């Protein structure tokens, strides 16, 4: 195998093998088949880049086919949005097709299958069909209508088509095998009655094909050679092929299904149903809310098409499911914006600076580099005057040793301007700083070549001249969820993990060069991050969205929380070594504060589970998580709780037993669960060990009295 072949992903290898075995390259055809029941999200971007990437690699057509077989959920709005997203990503389809284009052909094939005894009308309720279908371990049984005559089936199907029956009264099912180990092969539905208006066919049809029937047959009609889908459709392949068997003509290309791992991204949800819920419940401001993982939301946030394509290229195409860190998507964005986004100055939390030795009526126009990563970007002029805004966090009246920003008696450089020194402050009646008075070194202008201009100072600050500043609305966005897997926890609603700080709106000030910006223009606000102009902007009011920070704050936060958990685990060993109650209490309080500060639900769950073992320090730490974390007892798996309590009650350590008894005493759980430990506690009370303390005996009596 050549070096080039080794770099191919497995689907490209399949195509190469097909071509090597004689499949004509002119017969290669791919398709991207979205259902128009929601907006595309970042997960779809992976599929889009895969499908259209194959088309580009092999110079083969790629159809855009809307699988519009469910008018109850589909809208023209979604069709238009999908087309816009595809074109924005940089892809153009060969033909625009719709499953609804094939409704008559699909119906004719269904009639043919009835005539061949391969399909029948079932008049059971959905509940009856579910029972009759069996379970994964129990085969299904033939239903009462499975042996209807062909004539009766044809008549009923015609009546369904004509709208003679209400929704839910009849369905058309394929007659395959009710005992199949693949439950999808147990006489699957082909058609259902829906008296709904279709966005393209209007009220022409009263019955609509099911996805599994329409999808493969549509591939066949379009002569798609490689039908590529995600791993969730692996079990559907047998059915896909069975439906093709009923209509296949040897003179035509037969589509083949291949599956790849879908994109799973942490700190978000990918379910269109859940994304729709966020929109419908006004938790976000529409499908294009910049916090949404939709392509339109990412675009509005300030993401570039190039960064999304690069992200999809980096994660690759694989056969196994895995979870991609959101930080990788942000890395691809920073890499792109760093090369292309002009640098400007903006202040989002302003405090006034007065340069007391700068002339009252003087103004200067200073040179500022637009982008040091792009030599062709050139320079712009920024106005400088006596009164400026800087960020409030860039000043401390009394600063610690490693504070490299402005403070009284210390010097900093103003970006593209002069070195200033903090002299004094002005405060309001509440003690808040309203002005910072500084002096400047008149000979220290950046780029002037003077000795003073070359002088090294602790830090460099961005600023905006107050007289020339343009007030703007800045929407500071953060991740929508605080947990890395918000929809993966049993008995928890994904909405429980909403980030209440995912949007903050502030009034900021930008340099005057931004007065003439256009919607979607992108900039780096120096030292603050990347921002773009939102579509809500008007001539009178500019609105900027924070796209992404200059550093990965979430990765730093995640590492900090993980490190704090790990350090607490090390610290807990001291608990067993100190000699006084006061020392143990100090250690417990310190660990408790650390645990209470951790917001990551998944990290707490993982730490809890890992520490349910026979090590006394681990058991004590798991009990501390129960006591001090923000999680409730019901948030933990019941079997894991049971295991922890039993192991802890049997521990050799009186400290572990005591903390467990206290947790049990205060446990907010059903009485039956608490009572399940009654025998263990009574046994502990009646057979004290040498390590049993008076305190443990006291707690034991309190718990026993609860039973």
Picking from 665, 593, 588, 590, the residue whose alpha carbon sits closest to that of residue 620 is 588
Q: Would the annotation count 270 as a binding residue?
A: yes
Contact 89, 295 (CB under 8 A): yes
Residue 548, H or E segment: strand 543-548
Q: Which of 118, 262, 609, 665 is catalytic?
A: 262
Q: Would the annotation count 211 as a binding residue?
A: yes
Q: Would the annotation count 190 as a binding residue?
A: no
Task: Give residue for tokens 């392509």.
Answer: 295
Q: Please tell me the distance from the alpha carbon of residue 440 to that of residue 358, in angstroms, as a whole number.
A: 7
Q: How many CB atoms lie within 10 A of CB 640?
A: 14
In this structure, what token pair is assigned to residue 400? 């610690």
Residue 648, H or E segment: helix 638-649
Beta bridge partners of 171: 122, 192
Q: Is the dihedral of CA 346, 352, 355, 361 positive or negative?
A: positive
Burial classification of residue 551, based on how many CB atoms lie within 10 Å of its CB (0-12 exposed, 13-18 middle, 19 or more buried)? exposed
Q: Which of 29, 35, 391, 657 is catalytic?
A: 35
Q: Would the annotation count 272 as a binding residue?
A: yes
Cα torsion for 504, 505, 510, 514, to the nearest 10°?
Answer: 110
Indicate the pairing of strand 543-548 with strand 529-533. Answer: antiparallel
Picking from 220, 164, 200, 177, the residue whose alpha carbon sits closest to that of residue 74 is 200
Q: Would the annotation count 427 as a binding residue?
A: no
Task: Give residue for tokens 């685990």.
Answer: 569
Q: Would the annotation count 45 as a binding residue?
A: yes
The beta-strand segments (E) located in 309-402 are 323-324, 343-344, 346-347, 350-355, 364-369, 379-384, 387-391, 395-396
Q: Would the annotation count 123 as a binding residue?
A: no
Q: Please tell me the distance from the alpha carbon of residue 463 to that of residue 389, in angstroms, as a whole number.
A: 6
Q: Please tell me the distance from the alpha carbon of residue 253 to that of residue 239, in angstroms, as a whole number.
A: 18
Give the helix, strand, coil percentages of the chain, each rounded to 5: 40, 20, 40
Cα torsion for 392, 505, 347, 342, to the nearest 10°?
Answer: 150
Picking from 524, 528, 502, 529, the residue whose alpha carbon sits closest to that of residue 514 is 524
Q: Would the annotation count 271 as a binding residue?
A: yes
181 phi, psi to nearest 5 deg? -70, -20
Q: Please tell me the distance from the alpha carbon of residue 34 to that of residue 67, in angstroms, as a whole number.
A: 6
Residue 477, H or E segment: strand 470-477
Indicate the pairing of strand 379-384 with strand 364-369. Answer: antiparallel
Task: Give residue for tokens 């066949």.
Answer: 220
Q: Which of 173, 175, 192, 272 is catalytic?
A: 272
The reply to whether 262 belongs to the active site is yes
Q: Would the annotation count 461 as a binding residue?
A: no
Q: How many CB atoms lie within 10 A of CB 11?
A: 19
Q: Please tell me the distance from the alpha carbon of residue 145 to that of residue 170, in angstroms, as a whole number.
A: 11
Q: Would the annotation count 230 as a binding residue?
A: yes
Q: Would the annotation count 36 as a binding residue?
A: yes
Q: Would the annotation count 256 as a binding residue?
A: no
Q: Please tell me the distance from the alpha carbon of residue 613 to that of residue 499, in angstroms, as a whole number.
A: 33
Known binding site: residues?
Answer: 35-37, 41-47, 67, 211, 230, 262-263, 270-272
Q: Which residues does the annotation mark as catalytic?
A: 35, 262, 272
Known binding site for ATP: residues?
Answer: 35-37, 41-47, 230, 262-263, 270-272
Known binding site for L-glutamine: residues?
Answer: 67, 211
């Amino acid at each position: 195998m050549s070096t080039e072949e080794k770099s191919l992903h497995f689907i490209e290898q399949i195509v190469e093998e097909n071509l090597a075995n004689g499949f004509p390259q002119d017969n290669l055809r791919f398709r991207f088949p979205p259902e128009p029941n929601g907006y595309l999200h970042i997960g779809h971007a992976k599929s889009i880049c895969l499908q259209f990437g194959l088309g580009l690699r092999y110079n083969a057509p790629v159809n855009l086919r809307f699988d519009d077989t469910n008018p109850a959920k589909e809208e023209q709005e979604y069709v238009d949005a999908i087309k816009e997203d595809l074109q924005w990503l940089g892809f153009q389809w060969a033909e625009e097709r719709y499953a609804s284009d094939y409704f008559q052909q699909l119906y004719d094939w269904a009639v043919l299958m009835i005539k061949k005894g391969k399909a029948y009308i079932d008049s059971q309720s959905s509940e009856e069909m579910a029972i009759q279908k069996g379970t994964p371990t129990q085969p299904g049984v033939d239903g009462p209508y499975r042996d209807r005559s062909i004539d009766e089936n044809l008549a009923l199907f015609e009546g369904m088509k004509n709208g003679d029956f209400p929704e839910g009264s009849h369905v058309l099912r394929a007659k395959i095998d009710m005992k199949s180990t693949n439950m999808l092969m147990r006489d699957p539905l082909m058609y259902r009655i829906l008296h709904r208006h279709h966005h393209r066919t209007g009220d022409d049809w009263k019955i609509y094909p099911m996805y599994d029937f329409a999808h493969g047959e549509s591939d066949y009609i379009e002569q798609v050679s490689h039908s590529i889908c995600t791993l969730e459709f692996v079990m559907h392949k047998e059915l896909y092929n069975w439906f093709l068997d009923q209509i296949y003509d040897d003179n035509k290309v037969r589509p083949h299904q291949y599956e790849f791992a879908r994109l799973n991204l942490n700190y978000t949800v990918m379910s269109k149903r859940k994304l729709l819920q966020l929109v419908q419940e006004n938790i976000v401001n529409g499908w294009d809310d910049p916090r949404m993982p939709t392509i339109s939301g990412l675009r509005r946030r300030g993401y570039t098409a190039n960064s999304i394509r690069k992200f999809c290229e980096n994660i690759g195409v694989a056969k196994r499911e895995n979870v991609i860190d959101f930080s990788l998507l942000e890395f691809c964005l920073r890499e792109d914006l760093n090369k292309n986004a002009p640098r400007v100055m903006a202040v989002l939390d302003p405090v006034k600076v007065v340069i007391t030795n700068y002339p009252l009526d003087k103004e200067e126009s200073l040179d500022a580099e637009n982008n040091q990563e792009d030599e062709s970007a050139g320079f712009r002029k920024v106005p400088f005057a006596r009164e400026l805004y800087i960020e409030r966090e860039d000043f401390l009246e009394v600063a610690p040793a490693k504070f490299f920003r402005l403070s009284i008696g210390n010097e900093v450089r103003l970006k593209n301007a002069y070195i200033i020194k903090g002299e004094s402050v002005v405060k309001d009646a509440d003690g808040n700083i309203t002005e910072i008075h500084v002096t400047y070194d008149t000979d220290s202008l950046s780029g002037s070549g003077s000795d003073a201009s070359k002088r090294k100072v602790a830090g460099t600050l961005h600023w905006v001249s107050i007289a020339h500043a343009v007030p703007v609305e800045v929407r500071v966005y953060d991740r929508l969820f605080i947990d890395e897997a918000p929809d993966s926890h049993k008995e928890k609603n994904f909405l429980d993990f909403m980030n209440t700080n995912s949007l903050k709106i502030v009034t900021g000030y930008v340099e005057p060069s931004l007065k003439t910006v256009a919607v979607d223009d992108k900039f780096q606000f120096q030292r603050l991050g990347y921002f773009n102009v939102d579509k809500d902007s008007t001539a009178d009011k500019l609105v900027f969205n924070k796209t992404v920070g200059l550093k990965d704050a979430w990765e730093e936060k995640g590492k900090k929380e993980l490190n704090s958990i790990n350090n607490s685990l090390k610290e807990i060993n001291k608990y067993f070594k100190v000699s006084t109650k006061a020392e143990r209490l100090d250690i417990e309080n310190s660990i408790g504060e650390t645990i209470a500060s951790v917001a990551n639900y998944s990290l707490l769950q993982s730490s809890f589970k890992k520490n349910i073992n026979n090590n006394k320090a681990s058991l004590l730490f798991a009990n501390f998580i129960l006591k001090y974390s923000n999680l409730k007892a019901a948030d933990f798996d019941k079997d894991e709780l049971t295991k922890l309590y039993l192991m802890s009650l049997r521990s050799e350590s009186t400290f572990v037993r005591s903390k467990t008894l206290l947790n049990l005493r205060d446990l907010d759980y059903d009485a039956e669960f608490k009572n399940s430990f009654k025998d263990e506690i009574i046994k502990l009370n009646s057979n004290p060990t040498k390590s049993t303390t008076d305190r443990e005996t006291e707690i034991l009596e309190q718990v026993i009295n609860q039973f």
